[in-house]
Structure 1
Amino acid sequence: MRAALEVGLVLVLFGIYKIGRQLVADQVPEAMRHADMVRSVQANLWLPSEAAIQASVHVELLMRAANVYYTSVHFPLMVVFLAWGFLRRTPAEYRWARNLVVIQTGAALAIHVFFPLAPPRMFPEWGFVDTMERYGPSPYEGVSGDVANQFAAMPSLHVGWAVLIAYVVYRTGPRWWAYVAATHALLTAVIVVITANHWWLDGFVGIALLVVAVLVLPSPHAEVADSAPASEPVEEAAAA
């Protein structure tokens, strides 16, 4: 029953998320204008050029592999992560991780709705190459195209979810899994840039939403530590 309720909750939230993303799927002028704004902000912050980075590593085999990773790992890994938390971690740890996902994703959806943003790959005039269109595979074709929204680049949930998984595994899981999760987060951050699917700021905002979620929901371990009785000082005072 508990598992059925969790699956139902996740499906309902996914449905809400899908509907929300589709609300802004056709806001092309706003998305293009916001992209120009983001590019200007990044230039003022002296952030490296994503186009220059993409050009420096533009090898067809690498781009195909990066596209496969981008399209096939992101969502399935989140499903595996939630299943692992439900089956292998304590209920308190699982609820904490699940609620972090809900807060981060809900906040991201709000930004998608109010700030539609076109990804860098849509701007060949700025030096970007749409490697998904040129080499494939693309999540914006076929069945997945019904869910994907090309103008929901801000924030990057690819980066946000990857860092969330790494953080939760670091706090609650085996140490060697934490290294694997951290590697996935770093690899994801690189891939979204070289495939021109996200701007730097997209990833930064995705991580910032996680920080907000963590501040709102302290980890179960922190709560236990805060509520633990301070017995040792009392015993030391009695001994003295």
Structure 2
Amino acid sequence: QLATGHTAQAFANAHRVWDAERFLHLPGEGAVQSALLHSDTLVHVANTYYATVHFPATAAFLVWLYLRRPTHYVWARRVLALVTAAALVGHLTFPLAPPRLLAESGLLDTGQLFGPSVYGAHPATDAMANQFAAMPSLHFGWALMVAIGLIAATRSRWRWLWLLHPLLTLLVIVGTANHYWLDSVAAAALLCLALAVIHAPHRTATTALRGQEHARAGIPAQDRPELVGAGR
């Protein structure tokens, strides 16, 4: 609601971002969308991924950390909170129309055309979402933090495959024309700053096992010795 009424500024900023990407010779978002448009099913899957994976995946990540890696949960929660707060400030101070709304981009609004869509057909009057909150992309920022958090909190040799989540998210948000490439660059930069300020805990096998035992025993967080010094 605070972001309503900034339509002219949002489109002016969209033209600036589009021109900046062309100046930097970034690959066109249209190349990704063209690949999706080869199949109606693929477009529908991408729209569904955009609409349904963002919040549940992040929530599942935090719940798993809370139950299995308590010290990492505190760290990840703080990083996500800081990134989200900074992003919301960015959304208010730099309203940005996504490429699906920018005629100059030549991109289609795949959500409206193929479904499902999480946004109303009229951005300026959408009461459920701020459609001008393109930069930074929290879809990408959260997905990248989920991957980094799971890589930091686990020891499996396959843990690096979690990076497929932000990679797939990036292709989806660009291919559906909900975000520019630079939206993800801005989100990654914010996340790097947050990670520089809030350091990941050093987990040992003993600490992890103790944390799991205490969590299963129902011991409150403030009484768990493995959380001392990690914050709550």
TM-score, length-scaled by structure 1 = 0.78
Q: Tell me by how many angstroms 1:218 deviates.
A: 1.2
Aligned match of 2:87 = 108
Aligned match of 2:22 = 43
Q: Aligned pair in 2 of structure 1 residues 199, 192: CA closer, same or farther (>3 Å)?
A: same
- Which structure has the larger Rg? 1
Matches of 1:174 and 1:120 in 2, distance apart?
39
C-alpha distance after superposition, 1:151-184 (max 9, x if no partner): 0000001110000010011111242673452111
Give the root-mean-square deviation of aligned CA atoms: 1.9
Aligned residues of 2:11 and 2:102 also touching (Cα < 8 A): no
Matches of 2:158 and 2:83 in 1, distance apart?
22
SS in 1 for 2:202: helix
Q: Which has the higher helix share?
A: 1
Q: Which runs of 5+ in 1 are unaligned?
A: 1-21, 223-240
In structure 2, what residue type is equivalent to 1:205? A
> Do residues 82 (structure 1) and 69 (structure 2) align?
no
Matches of 1:65 and 1:26 in 2, distance apart?
32
Aligned residues of 1:169 and 1:177 also touching (Cα < 8 A): no
Number of aligned residue pairs: give it: 198
Q: Which runs of 5+ in 2 are unaligned?
A: 204-232
> Do residues 128 (structure 1) and 118 (structure 2) align?
no
> Do residues 155 (structure 1) and 155 (structure 2) align?
no
C-alpha distance after superposition, 1:8-53 (max 9, x if no partner): xxxxxxxxxxxxxx31133111110000000111111110111233
Equivalent of residue 36 in structure 2, options 45, 49, 57 = 57
TM-score, length-scaled by structure 2 = 0.80
Aligned match of 1:98 = 77
Aligned residues of 2:97 and 2:133 also touching (Cα < 8 A): yes
Aligned match of 1:139 = 118
In structure 1, what residue type is equivalent to 2:58? M
Matches of 2:114 and 2:79 in 1, distance apart?
35
Equivalent of residue 195 in structure 2, options 214, 225, 237 = 214
